[in-house]
Amino acid sequence: MISFWSKTRKTLEQLETLIQLAEQVVLALEQTAQASGAEKKRLAVQMLAELARTHGLNPPILLLDTVIEAAIRLTK
């Protein structure tokens, strides 16, 4: 498996993809999920991890959490 941080250019593209996915996940959950903030965040991290895998990414959970937090702040 290719490391998430293996090459600088590819890493930037991967990070941009991850950020875009996170923003979409957060917006979707804000509109549809009837859950508490903590539950929405748990769902967001889970959804983002699954979407990232479909795009060939395998970021660490801490990065997923951080990107979700940033997307939440951007949408408010």
Query: How many domains does one find in the chain?
Result: 1
In which domain, by residue range, is 53 found?
37-76
Residue 24 in any domain: the answer is no
Residue 75 in any domain: the answer is yes
Residue 43 in any domain: the answer is yes
Residue 16 in any domain: the answer is no
Query: In Å, how far are 7, 15, 22, 29, 43 from 26, measured between CA atoms?
Result: 28, 16, 6, 5, 9
Question: CA angle, 2 as apex, 13 and 18 as ends, to 5°?
Answer: 35
Q: With the C-alpha atoms ordered 58, 25, 19, 43, is the resulting torsion angle positive or negative?
A: negative
Q: What is the pLDDT of residues 30-66, one digit of tens each?
A: 998 788 888 999 999 999 999 999 999 999 999 999 9
| Contact between 59 and 10 (Cβ < 8 Å) | no
pTM: 0.83
Residue 2 in any domain: the answer is no
| Token reading at 58 | 């395998």
